[in-house]
Chains A and B, each alone.
Chain A
Amino acid sequence: MSNNLLVLSAAGMLVTAFLMVGQKALFTAIRLYGAQSWLLGVVAVTIALADDRPPLFVTAALTAGLKGLLIPWFLMRVVDRIGIRREIEPFLNVPASLLICLALTVVGYRVSTGFPEGARGVAHHVIGVGLSMLLIGLFLMVTRKKAVTQILALLTVENAVFLIALGITSGMPLVVELGISFDVLLAVLVLGILVHRIVDRFESMDVSRLSQLKG
């Protein structure tokens, strides 16, 4: 039962990542990220219940609270204030992006078979999902121009790393988890401010225009 739930949530995370690739509206993308984080929380709770590891509850709560609520709220506020709501021209159109992400998922799964199987026998699913999400996140960073999408891509990568860590070790020490969570929060805050500055300066949040800063 717990294994099924685990694989289901992991798969859900992968689906949200794919939806993000297919989505141009910024608000929806942020909500997708929130959903993804909640699913990560579910994964953590499942492992905590199955293995009887109470510290993982804290992790799950942090994940859901910070990444599922606080960060999406903050990003939405940023988007709202700037008034730019859509990713207009990605470097690659949506169908092509989806195809490439499919290929990346294949790569991720192919590689994950090399990892040792954990006690539950589902580790390679989790790791496969994690690696695929990591690659998709990187791909998003490469192809999207808007600063907010870049932040979301970074956060997706972060979620993916977290998922892989859960899959391999069934939970890192609590101190590490806390540290990572606050790191992410701070990064988002800083990036949010940066986005404001970029928009002020260029009247756009197109990151590719940053190259104009060159002397």
Chain B
Amino acid sequence: MAVYLTAAAASLVLARRPRLCRVAAFGGAILGSALVVALAVSVLAGGPVSGRLGAHAASGMTFGYAVTPLAAWFLLVLGLVAVPVALYSIGYLAHAVPGAKTAMVGASFNVLLAAVALVFAAADVVTFLFAWEVMTLSTAALVATEHEIRSTRRAAYMYLVMSHVGTGALLAGFLVLASASGSLSFEAVLAGNVVSGWWRDALFVLFFLGFGVKAGVIPLHVWLPEAHPAAPSSISALMSAVLIKAGIYGLFRVCAFGLGVPDVNWGLAVMAVGALSAILGVLYALAQSDVKRLLAYSTIENAGIILLGLGAGMTASALGHRELAAIGIAASLFHVLNHALFKGLLFLSAGSVVMATGTRHIEELGGLIRGMPWTALFFLVGALAVSGLPPLNGFASEWLTFQALLMGFASLPGVTRMSFPLAGALLAMTSALVAACFVKAFGTAFLAFPRGRAATDAHESPAVMLVPQGLLAALCIGVGLFPGAVLRTIGTVMVSLPGLRLPRDAPQATFTMAPGPAGFDHVVPLALGLTLMAGLLGAALLAAARAARRVPTWGCGGELGAATEYTGTAFSKPLMMIFKTVLRPTREVEALADVSPYFPREVRYRTAIEPVFERYLYGPLTSGVLGAANRLKVVQAGSLHAYLAYVLVLGVGLLIWLGGKR
């Protein structure tokens, strides 16, 4: 952590010399992140590490860190993503951010990494909340990097507001816990027996709100699709891969394992929110044509999948099915890693595209695979992984989540039994839609003919930006091929958590995954992947065997150019129509004709989806708060005498109240 802070300071010192500053700041970040990885590995292999950062003698408070295996897992994720992202930033920021701002970005970047690491490692409430706030503020600074743009300022503001509401909820929750346990250290506060009865439920709701904002689950997600696209791409990668995970970590640490054995209803609530986030996230993603917004909505969807696993685990744990709980939690933790890897990769690739073409709008791109073959390859790997195709990593964790949900149906009683397959069905639909969504993104941006000058002139990014993408892509493939090894590591995490028991034959060999009791299926992703590829190859060979006739497309008598290509909007249109009750799309066609309405000179087409949550949830909420504030203004009359009268009335009231007690 000291390395991060040093790098942040170095970045500020070297503000005048952007080049040197970049190298110093992000080199420091790489070094720090590598150390974080080393620490996490040593904790996972050895045992928890803890220590003290400082103590305040007068109040008897100590600020400490304690890297539990759970924290180590998240630290590992942080480090694995941060190293490539930092390396990438060295190249990316040279183009994306003017020299004067480099120092600011570099410093904030390091501060953010340090804060997130401290969030994961904090051993007491004060340290945790401090790190949490530093994390929020540094992210806001990063989001506001391009603060000349109005929408960016709005995004940063929205992020700040939402985060502070969340932090308020957290603060309230922690204060209740701290006063009930008489201590500030996590060990005492989160021992699980501090509060009971309906207090526990109230606390769960508070913490779920507070952490849910950061995790970006629907309906607390509204800041996310604004903030992710507004930030520079490498920052978006970090936000999506790491920052979201801070919220998830909180959910794990506090909601699932900090308040005692979870209630069945909590688990079901988490599952419901997870399913909602997953399905709505991907539907909104489908409707986007801004590549970074699309990725941002996909982040919401993935947070939903993580929550599905977590909720399944919590429900099972509440009902005493410890093995099933272990599978749900394992799936969730696994997806945390996987999402970080492939979403980091996708954002970095998207960043390369944005840098090369100067636009985030995929309808203006096309044919980039010729100009930027490597970026295209890496984006494809990321897209396959996010779609959950074997043998990539996304498959492994989504499959585990499915297993948890389906096994829940087999072994749980009552109403819960029904909710599991329902969530499973939603997850299945989500996976299919994600695949469609990324076919759209990849197909529109990288295949076909260029739709504009920007796409024609695009050229490959420098090596310093390609290597990190390659690194992440390799990790995606590696994790996908060897899920057993990863699951063994997760096993050590889960041993440390209460209420879980590893299934006997959980991670058997490096290549296989076998979540369930003996007899349930064992899966070898590599074999599946090979089968799938063999099938595809066979199909291709079959197709090639039949002689194809190449003829120009019939263009209804008009000229056909790149502009008449099948667009991404058109691709997603059928799906939009199917889900129109949810998305409520609106469209507007405007034809400008010179001579006759049948020969339009120009056709303008605009389509939008209705922001349901913004309009129906946050709209009334905001206007309600503003209205209440307006009514309260009467009290703040600005009159000296009125204020004095308040003092007098309060004083007399207190005197009567306290005096009457004697």
Contact = CB atoms under 8 A, between A and B. Distances in A.
Interface of A: 91, 104, 107-108, 110-111, 113-114, 131, 135, 138-139, 141-143, 145, 207-208, 210-211, 214
> For the complex, would chain B's binding face be called helix, strand, loop or mixed by DSSP majority?
helix
Given A110-B659, A111-B656, A111-B659, A138 B641 contact: no
A114 B661 CA distance: 9
A207 B647 CA distance: 17
B651 interface: yes
B100 interface: no
Contacts of B659: 107, 110-111, 113-114
Given A207-B640, A208-B640, A208-B641, A138 B651 contact: yes
Interface in B611-641: 637-641
A214 B638 CA distance: 8
Given A107-B655, A111-B655, A111-B656, A139 B639 contact: no
Given A107-B656, A111-B656, A143 B651 contact: no
> For the complex, would chain A's binding face be called helix, strand, loop or mixed by DSSP majority?
helix
Contacts of A214: 638
A207 B656 contact: no
A211 B647 contact: no
Nearest to A104: B652
Interface string B587-621: 00000000000000000000000000000000000
A60 to B, nearest CB: 29
A142 B644 contact: yes
Nearest to B649: A142
A210 B648 CA distance: 20
Chain B interface bracket (under 10, 10 to 19, 20 to 34, 35 or more)? 10 to 19
B463 interface: no
Given A107-B656, A111-B656, A114-B659, A135 B648 contact: yes
Contact of A141 (B644, B655, B660): B644
Interface of B: 637-641, 644-645, 647-648, 651-652, 655-656, 658-660, 662
A11 B559 CA distance: 106
A114 B645 CA distance: 25
A107 B641 contact: no
Nearest to A112: B659
A110 B638 CA distance: 33
Contacts of B655: 107-108, 111, 131, 135
28 contacts: A91-B641, A107-B652, A107-B656, A107-B659, A110-B660, A111-B658, A113-B659, A114-B659, A114-B662, A131-B655, A135-B648, A135-B652, A138-B644, A138-B647, A138-B648, A139-B648, A141-B641, A142-B644, A143-B641, A207-B641, A208-B640, A208-B641, A210-B640, A211-B637, A211-B638, A211-B639, A211-B640, A214-B638
Contacts of B638: 211, 214
Contacts of A108: 655
A45 to B, nearest CB: 30
Nearest to A144: B641
B653 to A, nearest CB: 10
B645 A142 contact: yes
Closest 3 CB pairs of A and B: A111-B659, A114-B662, A138-B648
A168 to B, nearest CB: 15
Contacts of B662: 113-114
B648 A142 contact: yes
Contacts of B652: 104, 107, 135
A26 B316 CA distance: 80
Given A141-B644, A207-B641, 12 more contacts: A107-B655, A110-B656, A110-B659, A111-B655, A111-B659, A113-B659, A114-B662, A135-B648, A135-B652, A138-B648, A207-B640, A214-B638
A135 B647 CA distance: 10
A142 B647 CA distance: 9
Nearest to B656: A107
A108 B651 CA distance: 11
A15 B655 CA distance: 22
Contacts of B639: 208, 211
Given A114-B662, A135-B648, A135-B651, A142 B641 contact: yes
B97 to A, nearest CB: 38
Nearest to B638: A211
Contacts of B640: 207-208, 210-211
Contacts of B644: 138, 141-142
Contacts of B648: 135, 138-139, 141-142
B362 to A, nearest CB: 49
Nearest to B641: A142
A214 B659 CA distance: 39
A65 B387 CA distance: 90
A113 B662 CA distance: 9
Nearest to B643: A142
Contacts of B645: 142
A207 B652 CA distance: 24
